[in-house]
């Protein structure tokens, strides 16, 4: 059962071919066997999940179907607030935090009938590209446990790839859904900024953060997106735009679609196996009626440095609330308020979080604001204009998701600049606020997954899902990593 698609599982429950309790019990058993090998979950909810599954079965018996996820076991990244269930952001500073409310994403998943299995590991406060920056220890890639799963939503991507949930919801600030999806051989989508509510999603960089689905197939991702997307008055950045039928879009095809190939994304640094796989994805689109168009995004080379000013600056502001006074961890034995705050933050935050807070504080400081943060915002505008001009000529843009397949655990952890380059192809979409999706398109000679990235116009997730579904159908690949308990 763990190899079923989410939509197949949902249909089986609706048709009473299997009960939600049987499905949930099977996945909880698989988590018990598999999770010790990959460390994808930080909190598992066996009793609560079985109660929810029993309630969904009772509703089915009465002819009630809540939505497309009814009775299906899913899980979420441990960055979304869950009422009465610890929400840690994989940080010691929030290790025992029990939120008093559910995030909007959690509310909507539950309203659609899903069964929540647990909360998944991540890079601390979503700051990382490998899910090695967690107070709970690193997540391992189920395709090769000596490799990283990507980050920061590595726990969610690894759990989906290992068959320990049918889908999950992650967050993407600079590639944190798409990059781990690529490295774990699953589908991951960052919707348009404002498409999915950020209410109850613990903030890293507020102008960049966006929640989105991680699933094993494109239609499954579309089904989850249809549930979590939509306006929310509690989020001031939420946009009131109608939510289309995303699942139907996966059957639309690509005939007549213009696919942009930005020359800046296929330059030096792309692994040969990645280049070959993405070329195959392009060929599959062309074979079904799409047209390839070479384009240029001339300010791409500035995206990485722009991001690593804006994101740390916003993190510095957002993480100021963790001071030991209001909630979360508090250092013991301090002699005064200043010492207590300093020790709390020094002991509660990990090294990567401290690094980014210090970078951000510096960039925002008097005398440096205009030189760094102000200039970065101007470059961000140029990047957005690049995409707007490109979309005057093409419908979607095709690129690699990551420059290489998954690297080894510990290989880049002591070299932050090299680690940051892992997100070089995903960061521009966050700066521009446009949607992006990663879909599996091949395997490396070492048997590691490779993903192709598709980028689209604001609020045109449908075109991305249509193109991604074609690649998925034309390049069939294993949906679940061959990892047994």
Write out pLDDT tens, residues 308-320: 999 999 999 999 9
How buried is 231 (Cβ within 10 angstroms: 0-12 exposed, 13-18 middle, 19+ buried)?
middle
Please give the CATH topology (third level) of the domain spanning 6-253: Amidase signature (AS) enzymes (3.90.1300)
- Three-class SS state of 275: helix
Residues that are catalytic: 77, 152, 176
Write out pLDDT tens, residues 15-65: 999 999 999 999 999 999 999 999 999 999 999 999 999 999 999 999 999
Q: What are phi and psi of 182, to 5 degrees?
A: -60, -45
Q: Which is higher by pLDDT, 366 or 302?
A: 302
The alpha helices in 302-368, defined as continuous H runs, are 303-318, 337-348, 351-364
For strand 115-120 and strand 73-77, is the pairing parallel, antiparallel, or unpaired?
parallel
pLDDT in the model for residue 326: 85
268 pLDDT more than 90: no
Write out pLDDT tens, residues 369-405: 999 999 999 999 999 999 999 999 999 999 999 999 9
Structure tokens at 348: 């509660």
Write out pLDDT tens, residues 400-456: 999 999 999 999 999 998 999 999 999 999 999 999 999 999 999 999 999 999 999
Contact (Cβ atoms closer than 8 angstroms) between residue 387 and residue 297: yes
In this prediction, residues 62-72 reach a mean pLDDT of 97
Structure tokens at 412: 């880049």
151 pLDDT more than 90: yes
pLDDT in the model for residue 484: 75
pLDDT in the model for residue 269: 86
Q: Tell me how far apart the alpha carbons of residues 400 and 398 are, in angstroms, rounded to a whole number.
A: 7
Write out pLDDT tens, residues 88-142: 999 999 998 999 999 999 999 999 999 999 999 999 999 999 999 999 999 999 9
483 pLDDT more than 90: no
pLDDT in the model for residue 327: 84
Strand order across the 449-456 sheet? 41-44, 115-120, 73-77, 167-171, 211-215, 187-190, 436-443, 449-456, 396-400, 258-262, 291-295
Contact (Cβ atoms closer than 8 angstroms) between residue 118 and residue 31: yes
Closest CA to 440 of 325, 304, 274: 274
Contact (Cβ atoms closer than 8 angstroms) between residue 309 and residue 372: yes
Enter the DSSP assignment of 144.
B
Give the Å distances, CA to CA, from 264 to 63, 107, 398, 399, 406. Answer: 54, 40, 12, 10, 22
Give domain limits for the chain.
Answer: 6-253
78 pLDDT more than 80: yes
How open is the CA angle 80-126-306, to the nearest 5 degrees? 130
The alpha helices in 97-166, defined as continuous H runs, are 104-111, 154-161
294 pLDDT more than 70: yes
Report the percent of the chain where pLDDT is more than 90.
97
Tally the residues of the chain: 485
Q: Tell me how far apart the alpha carbons of residues 362 and 357 are, in angstroms, rounded to a whole number.
A: 9
Contact (Cβ atoms closer than 8 angstroms) between residue 284 and residue 474: yes
How open is the CA angle 419-276-394, to the nearest 5 degrees? 85
pLDDT in the model for residue 485: 62
pLDDT in the model for residue 226: 98
Type and span of the H or E element at 442: strand 436-443
């Amino acid at each position: 059962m763990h190899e079923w698609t989410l939509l197949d599982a949902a249909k089986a429950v609706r048709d009473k071919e299997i009960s939600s309790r049987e499905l949930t019990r099977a996945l909880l058993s698989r988590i018990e066997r598999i999770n010790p090998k990959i460390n994808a979950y930080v909190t598992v909810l066996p009793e609560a999940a079985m109660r929810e599954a029993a309630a969904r079965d009772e509703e089915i018996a009465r002819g009630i179907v809540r939505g497309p996820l009814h009775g299906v076991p899913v899980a979420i990244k441990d960055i979304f607030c869950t009422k009465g269930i610890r929400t840690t952001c994989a940080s010691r500073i929030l290790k025992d935090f029990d939120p008093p409310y559910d995030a909007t994403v959690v509310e909507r998943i539950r309203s659609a009938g899903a069964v929540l299995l647990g909360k998944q590991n991540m890079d601390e406060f979503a700051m990382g590209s490998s899910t090695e920056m967690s107070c709970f220890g690193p997540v391992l890639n189920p395709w090769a446990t000596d490799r990283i799963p990507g980050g920061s939503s590595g726990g969610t991507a690894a759990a989906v790839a290992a068959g320990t949930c049918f889908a999950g919801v992650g967050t993407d600030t600079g590639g944190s859904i798409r990059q781990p999806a690529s490295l774990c051989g699953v589908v991951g989508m960052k919707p348009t900024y404002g498409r999915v509510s950020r209410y109850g999603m613990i903030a890293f960089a507020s102008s960049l953060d966006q929640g989105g689905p991680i699933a094993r197939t494109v239609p499954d991702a579309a089904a989850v997106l249809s549930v979590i997307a939509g306006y929310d008055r509690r989020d001031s950045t939420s946009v009131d735009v109608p939510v289309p039928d995303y699942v139907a879009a996966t059957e639309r095809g690509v005939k007549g679609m213009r696919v942009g190939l930005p020359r800046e994304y296929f330059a030096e640094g792309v692994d040969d196996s990645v280049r070959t796989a993405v070329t195959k994805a392009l060929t599959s689109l062309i074979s079904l009626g799409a047209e390839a168009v070479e384009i240029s995004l001339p300010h791409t080379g500035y995206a990485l440095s722009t991001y690593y000013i804006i994101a740390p600056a916003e993190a510095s502001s957002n993480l100021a609330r963790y001071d030991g006074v209001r909630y979360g961890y508090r250092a013991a034995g301090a002699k005064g308020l200043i010492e207590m705050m300093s020790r709390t933050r020094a002991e509660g935050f990990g090294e990567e979080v401290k690094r980014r807070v210090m970078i951000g504080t510096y960039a925002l400081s008097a005398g440096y604001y205009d030189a760094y943060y102000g200039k970065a915002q101007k470059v961000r505008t140029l990047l957005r204009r690049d995409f707007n001009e490109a979309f005057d000529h093409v419908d979607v843009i095709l690129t690699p998701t990551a420059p290489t397949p998954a690297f080894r655990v510990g290989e880049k952890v002591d070299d932050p600049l090299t680690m940051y380059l892992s997100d070089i192809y995903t960061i521009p979409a966050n700066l521009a606020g446009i949607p992006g999706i990663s879909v599996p398109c091949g395997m490396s000679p070492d048997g590691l997954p490779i993903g192709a990235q598709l980028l689209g116009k604001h609020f045109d997730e449908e075109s991305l899902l249509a193109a991604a579904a074609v690649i998925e159908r034309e390049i069939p690949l294993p949906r679940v990593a061959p990892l047994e308990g």
